[in-house]
Chain A
Amino acid sequence: MRFAAWLSLTVLLVLAHRYDTHGALDALPAIIAALIGWLFARTLARGRMPLIARAIAAIDGADLLADANIARYARRLTLVWAVYQFILAAIAAALALHAHGWLALPQPTLPGWFGFVWLPVAVALMFLGEFALRPRFLPQAPRHNLFNFMRKLVRAWPQLLLDPTATPAHSHWSERSEGGGPFALWLIRTIGLRLGRPAARALLYPITVYFFFRRGAERRASRAFLSRAFGRPAGTWSVLRHIHCYAATILDRAFLLARSTRGFDIRVNGLDQIEAQIARGRGVLVLGAHIGSFEALRVLAEARPELRVRFVMDRGQTPALTQLLHALNPAVAQMVIDVRGDGADIALAIRDAAQAGALIGVLGDRARTGEATRDAEFLGAPAAFPVAPYLIASALELPVVLCFGLYRGGNRYDVYFETFAERMCIPRAERAAQLAQWTQRYAARLEHYTRLDPTNWFNFYDFWHRPAAVEPAVRSSVAGNVV
């Protein structure tokens, strides 16, 4: 793992001096080969099952591995594949460096020619060669015809990447750990901020593919959501674009936090609407969703440095990401009101922020377990939306402004502000009816912005799923769960 990472880093480090997208494209074959090499190499670690052994277990059954010769062969072949991929990665890297004048080679080919033609051919030859010679090395191995063998391998290979000891998928999003883990985020930070956005964005492609294969639950949720949004079955390409969009906005969060909006093309719509509410000086509840980038709200903070902004968010949901973002910009930590605290404390912290005239950012789409919700029609079916934002705004008599920041590819973001309520006021006697209305209005606006670009939807779980027992009452039985 370290080796692959350092190799990619070295390649990018040198290429980044040239700093063009072409350099990143030339580096891509080297990165992919190194990553594949790493996929093999990491299974050789102590206590893990070598990748080839997993393939044998998947195709011919784990019993075969009881034969010491077969087990040894599997281990050695895994090692050979890892070394082979690393060598190919090194050649691809050398050619890329040569093309950019950083290395003089006697008889070089174009990096693209090697990377996209010779490298795949070399991998295919290795595969076929091993297949042909296997009966010689290992007479006891079961014979397959090539076509059937490849078919079984293709069918089994996503599982090969999973550790047999891996934990099963959880049903609720809040129980899922964040994808990629601290390592990927470290990679984003190191490569991204040292070498620049183009270099880091080249890495998003392998990261997207990795996420696609490693995160089955999210992959299925993405496909189901896109199919619903498009009104037709969504293909693998759409799912990959969806994951890529998500990864791209997470990367950009690092840039937005560390370097502000420099280098981004952020187009703001409805700025006058939120400006008008800010001017009243009583605090504004800014209601967003897990779509695109809420960080784009920072364009406001930059235009008006005196403006105070607080975000109500769940620090515990993505600890590594939160930690990274805080490290990039320590001021952010001060801005967060953590929803995992005591309910009364959260409510009072929001009150304090409102009384100081701050913007209070809340995401209104996800309900935490046990949180009071109302059903509203969203993309053709009822989904549960939390009611706390409206009740809080009502208690504090706050204006509510919607804010959605959509990622539009490249370095472009479209930010939309829209006045939702001049002054939220929900009398207790009319609570039920009013909450039904407000959640439905929010769901309708969310649907409008989601339809502008469904790949900006970042709730990678079954949004319409409801737990078996939903408490319909607004008054939650457990204090602290409403916020």
Chain B
Amino acid sequence: MIHSAPAKLADRFVPTRTMSTQTPAEHELAELIVTSLSLPNRKAADIAPEAALFGGELGLDSIDALELSLAISKHYGVSLRSDEGDNKRIFASLRQLAAHIEQHRVPAP
């Protein structure tokens, strides 16, 4: 399976592996996504960091966003807010979501 669903047309001609690889934090989050949403036939390593989480090849919907938000708050203690209005940006890609969590995460004791 091809694992990129680039937002921009120009990206389509760039091989995913050379474009970017997952950082350790992103890989951890990708694992959480795959397990909490029990995505069929998908490995955490396959989620391209900059590919669209919603609507793209991964095709998550708003119910998935809800379940993911519950899993994230359980795992990281980071609560995604409903009233900030920038969930579209936060959920845009694995990279964006990981960055948001890193920013709001309570440092581990």
* Residues of chain A having any CB pair with chain B under 8 Å: 342-352, 372, 388, 391-392, 395-396, 428-429, 475-483
Task: Name the distance in Å between B17's Cβ and chain A's nearest Cβ.
Answer: 26
- By the criterion CB–CB under 8 Å, are A351 and B82 in contact? yes
Known: A392-B66, A428-B38. Contact between A343 and B82, CB under 8 A?
A: no
Among B38-75, those with CB < 8 Å from A are 38, 54-55, 59-63, 65-67, 69-70
9 interchain residue pairs of minimum CB distance: A343-B62, A479-B54, A348-B82, A347-B66, A344-B65, A349-B82, A344-B87, A391-B63, A482-B61
Q: Can you list 8 A-B contacts (CB < 8 A)?
A: A342-B88, A343-B62, A343-B65, A348-B80, A351-B69, A372-B61, A481-B61, A482-B63
| Interface contact A480-B70, CB-CB below 8 Å | no
Q: Are A429 and B61 CB-contacts (below 8 A) given A342-B87, A342-B88, A349-B82?
A: no
Contacts A350-B66, A479-B54, A483-B62 known; 12 new A-B pairs at CB < 8 A? A344-B65, A344-B88, A344-B91, A345-B87, A347-B82, A348-B69, A349-B82, A351-B66, A351-B69, A428-B37, A428-B38, A475-B59
Per the CB 8 Å criterion, the residue count for chain B at the interface is: 22
The contact string, 1 if C-beta is below 8 Å from chain A, for chain B 77-101, is: 0001111010110010000000000
* Cβ distance A479 to chain B, nearest Cβ, rounded Å: 3
Cβ contact within 8 Å between B63 and A348:
no
- In the bound assembly, the distance between CA atoms of A476 and B13 in angstroms comes to 27
In whole angstroms, how far apart are the Cα atoms of A354 and B17 in the complex? 41
Judge whether B87 and A351 touch: CB under 8 Å: no
Q: How far is the CB of B19 from chain A (nearest CB, A)?
A: 22
In whole angstroms, what is the CA distance A431 to B40 when docked? 13
Q: Which of B38, B66, B81 has the most CB of A within 10 A?
A: B66
Kindly list chain B residues whose C-beta atoms are within 8 Å of the C-beta of A350: 66
Q: Report Cα–Cα, A218/B1, bound state, in Å.
A: 49
Name the distance in Å between A373's Cβ and chain B's nearest Cβ. 13
For residue A283, give the distance in angstroms from its CB to the closest CB of chain B.
13
Give the distance in Å from the alpha carbon of A350 to the alpha carbon of B69 in the complex: 12
Q: How far is the CB of B57 from chain A (nearest CB, A)?
A: 10
A477 to B59, CA, bound (A): 6
Measured in the bound complex, the distance between the Cα atoms of B72 and A348 in whole Å is: 13
* B83 partner residues in chain A, CB cutoff 8 A: 345, 349
Report the bound CA distance from A480 to B69 in whole Å.
15
Interface residues in chain B, defined as those with a beta carbon under 8 Å from any beta carbon in chain A:
37-38, 54-55, 59-63, 65-67, 69-70, 80-83, 85, 87-88, 91
Residues of B within 8 A of A388 (CB): 62-63
- With A342-B87, A351-B69 known as contacts, the answer to whether A482 contacts B62 (CB < 8 A) is yes
Given contacts A477-B55, A478-B55, contact A348 B81 (CB under 8 A): yes
A384 CB to nearest chain B CB (Å): 17
Query: Closest residue of chain B to A349, judged by CB?
Result: B82
Residues in A whose Cβ lies below 8 Å from that of B65: 343-344, 347-348, 479
Chain A hits for B62, CB < 8 A: 343-344, 346-347, 388, 479-483
- Pick the contact of B63: A349, A352, A392, A429 (CB < 8 A): A392
Contact (Cβ within 8 A) B70 A429:
no
Set of chain A residues within 8 Å of B80, measured between Cβ atoms: 348
A342 to B38, CA, bound (A): 24
B61–A348 touching, CB < 8 Å: no
A391–B64 Cα distance when bound, in Å, is 10
Query: Is the beta-carbon distance between B66 and A348 smaller than 8 angstroms?
Result: yes
* Known contacts A342-B87, A352-B82, A395-B70; A347 and B63 CB within 8 A of each other: yes
A337: nearest chain-B partner, CB-CB: B82
**How far, in Å, is B41 (CB) from chain A's closest CB?**
13
Which residues of A have CB within 8 Å of B67?
395
Minimum CB–CB distance for A400 against chain B, Å: 15
